Each structure stands twice: as C-alpha cells, then as structure tokens.
Structure 1
Amino acid sequence: MALVTSKGGSSSSSSSSFTYQLKNFDVFLSFRGEDTRLGFISHLYNALCQRGIKIFIDDNLQRGEEISAGLVKIIESSRISIIVFSENYAYSAWCLDELTKIVECKKNNQLVRPVFYNVDPSEVRNQKGKFGEALSKYEEKLKDKKKVQRWREALHEAANISGWHYKHDCTEFEFIQEIVEEIANSELNRMPLFVAKYPVGINSRAEAIILQLDIGSNDVRM
C-alpha cells in the first residue's frame, strides 16, 4: 500500500476528496502497512523529506477491490516509484494492483527501485514462501485468473530490477541513508530543459550575441 503526501499534507477517507492532491511527486512509496508503516517506512519517509524530496504514501484513502483512478494518476505522474517488499506484501491485493501499475509505468521510462526488507529477492521473483502462499490463495478465491497471472508477472519483473536488499549486515539507519543518497542523486537532479516547439525571435538575439563575441578576434571572450 502506498502516508499522506509531503509534510503538512492530509488525506481524507474519501477517494474523491483527494482530487486536489493530484500533482507531481518525486517519489511514490508502495508498501504493506502492517509490516513496515510504524518502523522502516516512517524512518525512510522522514529521511527522504529531510532531503526535500516530495513523497506520496497513502494511509487513509478509502479501500475498494481495486485502486482508485486518482491513485493511478499519482503513480503515473511520480518520477520514481519505490516498492518495499516485506514478508506479507503479497497478501494485499491493493499492493499487488499498485505494483502492476508501477511496472507498467516502468515501460514508460519511470524509474522503479525495489527494496527487499526481510525477504529474499528470489522469494519475490519465483513466488516462493509467503509470496507463493498468497498467490495460491488468490487463484483459489478469485475468478479472474488473468489478474493473478498479471500479479505474478509483475512480481517477477520487479524482483529482477536492481534495488536494495536489507541483509542485517548494517544498521537500519545506514541502510536507509544508502537509499536516500541514491534517490537524491538519481533522476531527481536531472531537471528537464523546456524548449518551445516553435521558438520565436531567436535569430535576432543570436545575431546580437555573435556581434558581442566578435568572433575572429585574438582575445578570449565569454
């Protein structure tokens, strides 16, 4: 599942009431709240906020069988998606729907990075352990078998993306700092340059600059 927006924001329990929040975010966090909300996610969220990174994580949006159209738009407009795979991630159909959308956005050049928190990437990739148990239960329960297959494919693809694996070989603080540093130095520092499709009045300005440069002279001009 994906706290609220950036610091100072708030979220209503009605999915229709957060339309005003539909804006671009730097990072979208997808996670299983029961596993990580009060520990790892809260620390990661605060560390990213301290670096001035705008984050979207939802705690209070109204739940349904599928993620809302508003949340889909937020995922699409985010520059980076971080998926925190924890032990019970796959037991949330909401998380799996988010994951499927995130993997789809990756094909449109969105940066996607997984975090394997207390799970091995191979369990996610091959749907072993609790990931396998959760998917098997969905196959028994749901009539839409194609949807379960899409979840399986999304899990496999996401687990093959380069990310971070918490192996308890360092403190959680050090692990989070590594994530924050990489995110802060990634696509967030590559601000797009806007260039008009049909620029007007460029030639006269270029000619004025060329005259000022006095190209051909022996001295150096800047």
Structure 2
Amino acid sequence: MLYLVKFWRLIQVSIPSSKLQFKQGENKLYGLGIVKGLLVTLKNFVRKPATINYPEQRAPQHSRFRGEEFAWYEERCTGCASCAKFCPLGIIHIETSPSEANIPEGDSYKLEAFDIDIARCMFCGFCVEVCPYDALFMGSGFEEAQYSRQDLVLDKIKDQREGKNKSPSTWFRPQLEAQKYIPLSGTEMKWDDAGREEWTYHPTKRPKRDLLSWRNKNFKNKGEN
C-alpha cells in the first residue's frame, strides 16, 4: 500500500491535472505508460528471487560441471604426454626420465614434472578425452583466483604428494555418473574407480556385414570391367 501511495504522489507531481484527460478525438490517457511499466515492476517485486546471496548461499552444482581445475591420478599416469601433445594451447608441461623399476610391467617412465597453466587454459577438455588411461579429469572447483600469475600454474605432482583433496567432474566419465558420484559431496574417489567405461556391442543396432564376400564381389566386378 505504501508503494501505491508513493506512486500516486509521483503522478500528481510529474503530470499536470490538465494532462490527465482524454485528448479530443483520441482514446488515450497521458501517464498510462508509466502505470503499465510500474505494474510490471510490482509484479516482479513479489516474485520469488532467482538469485542467491553468494558465497553465503550456493546453488546446486551439476556433477558434469567443468571447473577451473584438474584432478590427476598419478597411479594411472604412465607419462605418455598425450595430454600435452593434444593441448591446442600448449599449456601442459611434462618431464619424464627413464624408470629403473617395473619396466616389464610398462612403467618405463618416471614423472619429474606435470604442470598445467590454467591462466591460459580454455578448459576445452581435449586432454581429458585423449588420456588413454583415464588419469586426468576435469575438476569441479571454480574459486581459483590468485594474486600472482605464477600461482595459476598447477603443480600436480606437488598436489599429489601433499594429498590435496580432489573433486573430479563426471564430464566425459559416464561410469562415474552410473555410480551416482557427486564431486562436491566430500567423498574421495579412489583412483581404481576411475577406469574407462566398458564398451558394449549392440548387434541389433549395427548391421552385420560379411567383409570377405564384399571384398570378393568388388574385386570380381573390377576384373570384369
């Protein structure tokens, strides 16, 4: 009611009484546009707010959200540097040295450095997609502001040694969604649960083709021509 009284006083002050009349030959009332505009304002004034008071309140975050960080599992990494090769901006730096342990098992490289410069990263996710052993994940955190650009270079080996908590995103990891894993729940995901999703063949969706008969038929037609 108080807003309506203020609104009526505003109309009385800003619009002369002689103007609050119909023009001769026109069905138009001066000040009606202001009334319509303020009605929209009053309608939205009583509507439930769509925003929240961040950071005191936080909106629910989807498990596939790609944050400004990466979750790396050293136990799964072989130092192949596929992520660094496919990075379009070249922000991943990996240094390896020959390993003297477990060479028959494939552990022929020892990681000396694994750095990611998130100051230049556009978070396209190519490095996560091309990792053959699912050792690299997109993270879920986004509060990564720093005072120095040097602090934006993530030393993943140092984070691994210090036991930094990881919140891997389920983006490009449908097996984690099947497990109903929630990144920001505080539950630590074990590295052996981060395996690649099992590939299933659907014979009803893909037509079968006898490649041998198809090849013989094509070569026979070429010979006749």
Q: Max radius of gyration: which structure?
A: 2
TM-score relative to the length of structure 1 = 0.23
- TM-score, normalised relative to structure 2: 0.23
Higher helix share: 1
